[in-house]
């Protein structure tokens, strides 16, 4: 860690130090304002009436706080021909994300355990092939997946979307668990084997109890990915099964009627709330997932 404001034993007097320190804090504060501004604008806009939005300023606080836009966004806004608000789609996303996150995390844990602790010839190649799958642009699988879901009879359904998210989530979840389990000494597995414990017994009683941190990281990562997904949602859903991101986009970009900016903003905040909440509550794990997902290895 270096220190701009405290150069070692030289020149710049106390005054210079203080000025530098102030400049530093002002800069940091300005950047904080830059990142917070859109959220601030979203919240204040969602609390204004349309009248006030038209006559007032973007950055002004609401003169009169009203929650009408939130009510409309939740249960009355139109996503095309239907006008039930975000509520049904919010639940679609929940019904979709919970099983998809649980399944992909569980499969990733087992896979990672095999790749890290039960090496067999070819295991590394298999892992590399799976890892590679994380990098493909999903556009390249959209068309055949659409056909396959049709053949399986789950096109446009929530189970269909769960299937897609689990399949393309396995690469990352395996990577997370593999990297975590690699750091657990293999002597542990060997000793347990000598004592007569089998493959699943070792997994349940030794590895799973050690896995809480990586489970949290993986669940957060998968939840954020799946909740925020738009491409799969818009490609593989139909009216009624759409996830919340698709419904939000339909509300915002529907061309019928008066443009209700306050409703758009309230809807955006509702759609963002779950992942934002996870970030605030478990930010440390969120960041760990992000960096683990990018700094492979």
Partner 1 sequence: MTKWLETHLPKMVLAPSFIAVLVFVYGFIAWTAWVSLTRSRLLPRYEIEGFIQYKRLFAAPRWDTAMNNLFIFGALFIIIAMVLGLLLAILLDQKIRTEGVIRTIYLYPMALSMIVTGTAWKWILNPGLGIEATVQGWGFEGFSFDWLVDPDMAIYTIVIAAVWQSSGFVMALFLAGLRSVDEEIIKAAQVDGIPTWRIYSAIIIPSMGPIFMSAFIVLAHLAIKSFDLVIALTGGGPGYATDLPATYMYAMAFSRGDIGQAASSAMIMMLVVFAIVVPYLYSELRAKND
- Smallest distance from partner 1 to CB 8, Å: 4
In three-state secondary structure terms, 237 is strand
Q: Is residue 205 a contact point for partner 1 (CB under 8 A)? A: no
Does residue 268 interact with partner 1 by CB under 8 A? yes
Among 218, 265, 285, 292, binds partner 1 (CB under 8 A): 265
Judged by CB under 8 A, which of 77, 149, 271, 292 binds partner 1?
Answer: 271
Question: Interface with partner 1 by CB under 8 A: which range of 56-64, 70-78, 151-159, 210-218?
Answer: 56-64
CA distance 84 to 77: 6
Half-sphere exposure of residue 175, counting CA atoms within 13 Å on the CB side? 24
Task: Pick the closer one to partner 1 by CB: 57 or 256.
Answer: 57
Residues 220-249 as x/- pattern, contact with partner 1 by CB under 8 A? ----x--xxxxx--xx---------x--xx
Sign of the CA dihedral running 100, 106, 107, 108: positive
Determine if 276 is a binding residue for partner 1 (CB under 8 A).
yes
* Alpha carbon distance, N-terminus to C-terminus of the chain: 24
The contact pattern for partner 1, residues 1-30, with x = CB under 8 A and - = no contact, is xxxxx-xxxx-------------xx-xx--
Give Cβ neighbours of residue 99 (< 8 Å, ≥ 6 apart).
162
Output 36 or 210, the one with its CB closest to partner 1. 36
82-141 residues near partner 1, rule: CB under 8 A: 107, 110-111, 114-115, 118, 120, 123, 126, 128-133, 135-141
Interface with partner 1, residue 81, by CB under 8 A = no
Q: Would you call 79 helix, strand, or coil by DSSP?
A: strand
Look at phi and psi of residue 85 and say left if phi exceeds 0, alpha if psi is from -120 to 50, else beta: left
Identify whether the C-beta of residue 239 lies closer than 8 Å to the C-beta of residue 88: no
Give yes or no for a contact between 241 and 156, defined as CB atoms under 8 angstroms apart.
yes
35 binds partner 1 (CB under 8 A): yes
The contacts of residue 18 (CB under 8 Å, 6+ apart) are none
Distance CA 149, CA 41 (A): 41
In the complex, what is the shortest distance from the CB of residue 231 to partner 1, in angstroms, rounded to a whole number?
6
User: Shortest approach of partner 1 to residue 130 CB, angstroms?
Assistant: 5
Structure tokens at 103: 């399944």
Q: Least separation, in Å, of the C-beta of 136 and partner 1?
A: 6
């Amino acid at each position: 860690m270096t220190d701009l404001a405290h150069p070692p034993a030289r020149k710049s007097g106390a005054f210079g130090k203080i000025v530098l320190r102030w400049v530093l804090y002002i800069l940091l504060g300005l950047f904080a304002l830059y990142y917070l501004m859109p959220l601030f604008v979203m919240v204040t806009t969602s609390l204004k009436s349309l009248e006030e939005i038209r006559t007032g300023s973007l950055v002004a606080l609401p003169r009169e706080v009203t929650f009408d836009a939130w009510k409309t966004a939740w249960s009355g806004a139109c996503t095309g021909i239907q006008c039930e608000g975000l509520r049904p789609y919010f639940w679609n996303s929940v019904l979709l994300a919970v099983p998809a996150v649980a399944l992909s995390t569980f499969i990733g844990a087992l896979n990672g355990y095999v790749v890290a602790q039960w090496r067999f010839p070819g295991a590394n190649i298999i892992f590399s092939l799976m890892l590679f799958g994380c990098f493909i642009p999903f556009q390249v699988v959209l068309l055949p997946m659409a056909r396959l879901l049709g053949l399986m009879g789950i096109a446009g359904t929530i189970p269909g979307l769960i299937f897609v998210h689990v399949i393309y989530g396995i690469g990352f979840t395996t990577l997370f668990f593999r990297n975590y389990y690699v750091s657990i000494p293999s002597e542990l597995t060997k000793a347990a084997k000598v004592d007569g414990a089998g493959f699943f017994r070792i997994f349940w009683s030794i590895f799973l109890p050690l896995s809480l941190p990586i489970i949290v990281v993986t669940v957060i990562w998968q939840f954020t990915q799946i909740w925020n997904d738009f491409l799969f949602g818009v490609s593989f859903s139909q009216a009624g099964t759409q996830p919340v991101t698709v419904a939000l986009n339909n509300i915002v970009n529907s061309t019928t009627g008066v443009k209700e900016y306050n409703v758009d903003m309230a809807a955006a905040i509702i759609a963002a709330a779950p992942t934002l909440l996870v970030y605030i509550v478990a930010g440390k794990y969120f960041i760990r997932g992000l960096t683990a997902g990018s700094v492979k290895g």
